[in-house]
């Protein structure tokens, strides 16, 4: 058994093998590069050509530069704006802990924005489902990844964009023209929840009268809540526009 192994051609032939070439037509360019490399090794006096790895690296750099040059510019895309909020920040978020990452992102973004001590209109989708209708009208779709932030009425982005802009200092420049909050940023009436119980129905979302019986309260949302009149004065349902 060992004698046959010792007489094996693979053991006796120690000369290096020449590079093999693909026969498939889809590898025509690779075959050409391999042939050029083999010819440069056989004829060292011929002008030196760049190595295969150098040419591949050069080609990759050219393709990346071309893709970056032809990528659509963010400024060329239509911007999304909100009316009547040019002096504040609007953030759509959720206070529910159903999805941990979403909850943590919302918490982080709210903490960043509150740190600048500027007016922040916090719109919690878990307390008022009408905010979801607003977003559907604004973006024209039904699913979203919260939070979503508007600065001075202009859409900025979500959690990743806010954290990146905050780290590089661009977020501070964007909100530099907004008015500062004087005193405590926590509302004494709603304690930061941005909602209070409806006075008409006391949070039941139903109103009783002897003539009509029980009817739905039109002053509050489905949870029997209204926007806090102290920290959200004159709040109206948002309309949207594209520019």
Least confident segment among 6-10, 134-138, 223-227, 238-242: 238-242
Most confident of 68-77, 113-122, 165-174: 165-174
Q: Convert the pLDDT of each residue in 184-223 to its tens digit.
A: 667 778 877 788 889 889 888 898 888 888 899 988 888 8
Percentage, residues of the chain above pLDDT 90: 30
Report the pLDDT value the prediction gives residue 148, as an integer from 0 to 100.
96
Q: Is the pLDDT of residue 25 over 60?
A: no
Instruction: Look over the chain and give the mean of its residue pLDDT values, rounded to a whole number.
Output: 75
Is 40 in contact with 49 (CB distance < 8 Å)?
yes
Domains of the chain, by residue range, sit at: 24-58, 80-187+236-242, 195-227
Report the pLDDT value the prediction gives residue 237, as an integer from 0 to 100.
42
Report the pLDDT value the prediction gives residue 40, as an integer from 0 to 100.
57
Q: Is the pLDDT of residue 3 over 60?
A: no
Q: Is the pLDDT of residue 241 over 50?
A: no
Split at pLDDT 50, 70, 90, the class of 63 is: low
Report the pLDDT value the prediction gives residue 74, as an integer from 0 to 100.
38
d(CA 113, CA 90) in angstroms, rounded, equals 10
- Sequential DSSP letters for the chain: -HHHHHT-HHHH--SPPPPP---SGGGHHHHHHHHHHHHHHH-TTSPPPPPHHHHHHHHHHHHHHHHHHHSPPGGGSPPEE-TT-TTSEEEEE----SSHHHHHHHHHHHHHHHTTTS-EEEEETTT-THHHHHHHHHHSSS---S-EEEETTEEEESHHHHHHHHHHTHHHHHTTTSPPPPS-SS-TTTTTSSEEE-TTTTTSSEEEETTTEEEE-SSS-TTSEEE-TTTSTT------EE-
Per-residue pLDDT averaged across 136-163, rounded? 93
Q: Is the pLDDT of residue 105 over 80?
A: yes
Q: Taking the CB of residue 168, how many other CB atoms lie within 10 A of it?
A: 10
- Cα three-residue angle 80-151-101, rounded to 5 degrees: 90
Q: Is the pLDDT of residue 120 over 50?
A: yes
What's the predicted TM-score (pTM) here? 0.60
Q: Has domain 80-187+236-242 been given CATH number 3.40.1410.10? A: no
Q: Convert the pLDDT of each residue in 64-88 to its tens digit.
A: 655 445 444 333 345 788 888 888 8
d(CA 153, CA 80) in angstroms, rounded, equals 8
């Amino acid at each position: 058994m060992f004698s046959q192994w010792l007489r094996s051609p693979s053991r006796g032939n120690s000369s290096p093998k020449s590079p093999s070439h693909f026969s498939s037509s889809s590898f025509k360019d690779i075959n050409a590069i391999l042939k050029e490399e083999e010819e440069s090794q056989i004829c060292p006096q011929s002008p030196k050509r760049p190595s295969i790895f150098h040419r591949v690296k050069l080609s990759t750099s050219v393709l990346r530069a071309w893709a970056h040059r032809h990528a659509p510019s963010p400024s060329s895309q239509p911007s999304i704006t909100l009316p009547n909020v040019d002096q504040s920040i609007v953030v759509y978020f959720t206070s529910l802990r159903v999805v941990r990452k979403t909850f943590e992102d919302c918490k982080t973004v709210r903490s960043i924005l509150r740190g600048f001590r500027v007016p922040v209109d916090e719109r919690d989708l878990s307390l008022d489902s009408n905010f979801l209708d607003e977003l559907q009208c604004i973006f024209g779709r039904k699913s979203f990844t919260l939070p979503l932030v508007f600065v001075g009425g202009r859409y900025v982005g979500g959690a990743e964009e806010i954290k990146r802009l905050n780290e590089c200092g661009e977020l501070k420049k964007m909100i530099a023209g907004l008015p500062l909050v004087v005193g405590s940023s926590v509302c004494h009436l709603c304690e930061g929840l941005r909602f209070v119980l409806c006075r008409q129905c006391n949070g039941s979302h139903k109103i009783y009268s002897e003539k009509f019986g029980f009817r739905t309260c039109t002053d509050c949302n489905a949870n029997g809540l209204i926007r806090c009149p102290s920290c959200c004065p004159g709040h109206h349902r948002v309309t949207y526009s594209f520019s």
